[in-house]
A = this chain, B = another copy of it.
Amino acid sequence: MILSLTEENYLKSIFHLSDNGQTAVNTNHIANQLNTRASSVTDMLKKLADKSLINYQPYQGVTLTAEGRKKAISIVRRHRLWEVFLVDKLHFGWDEVHDIAEQLEHVQSDALTDRLADFLGNPVADPHGDLIPDKNGEFEQTKFIPVDQMSTGHTGIISGVSEHSVSFLQYLQKHDLVLGKHIALLETTGFDGSVTLLINQSKELTISKEAAKNILVL
């Protein structure tokens, strides 16, 4: 079944808001994420339910069906593959690629997606450390730890971010907190939760708890 661009965006939104399809998602959350109104969401939920892509009981929120989840994952796969392309091949910055990938993700061609993945070397993560599902929709199993949950003295490799705003990405870039960097947690301030890091065994930097929470290490 072929989906409209709008239907694809709703499915992707539900997928992300439900933490990969586990929990039920509210109408208002979807409206908020898609910058639309609750009434518009209700209308679309009915359509998606008619197509058996979501489980929808009025007033009870929605979950994805197996079919809906499959569709959502394939959109996520396309989005992240294109982000890799934009950064690795076209040399865009990691803060510049999301909006373009939002458009590219809607190009519907399995042959294109698969060849693109091959061309990029079948990457398992995008430029922000987000995992790229494989052709069968499977994510590699990993356990990222947010920096604010690291213990003093422990070390890790920056492997992802859980906040994707342009301003946050530019902030990280400026302080050299990019994917692949080695960090050691020197100290956590009890007062405000800010943490002091040693980056690549050389540079010290103190960041807020808020920032630490959104940097993921392995």
Cα distance A108–B102 in the bound complex, in angstroms: 11
Cα distance A91–B111 in the bound complex, in angstroms: 11
Cα distance A91–B112 in the bound complex, in angstroms: 10
Partner of A115, one of B91, B104, B106: B91
Partner of A119, one of B90, B106, B118: B90
A38 at the interface (CB under 8 A from B): no
A103 at the interface (CB under 8 A from B): yes
Q: Which of A68-124 contact B (CB under 8 A)?
A: 86, 89-92, 96, 99-100, 103-104, 106-109, 111-112, 115-116, 118-119
Instruction: Give every chain B residue within 8 A of A108 (Cβ-Cβ).
Output: 103
Instruction: Give every chain B residue within 8 A of A91 (Cβ-Cβ).
Output: 115
Closest-by-CB residue of B relative to A116 is: B90
Enumerate 18 A-B pairs (CB-CB under 8 Å) in ascending A order: A86-B112, A90-B116, A90-B118, A90-B119, A91-B115, A92-B111, A92-B115, A96-B111, A99-B109, A100-B107, A100-B109, A100-B111, A100-B112, A103-B106, A103-B107, A103-B108, A104-B107, A107-B107
Residues of A within 8 A of B (CB): 86, 89-92, 96, 99-100, 103-104, 106-109, 111-112, 115-116, 118-119
Known: A86-B112, A90-B118. 19 other contacts (CB 8 A): A89-B119, A90-B112, A90-B115, A90-B116, A90-B119, A92-B111, A92-B115, A96-B111, A100-B107, A100-B109, A100-B111, A100-B112, A103-B106, A103-B107, A103-B108, A103-B109, A104-B104, A104-B107, A107-B107
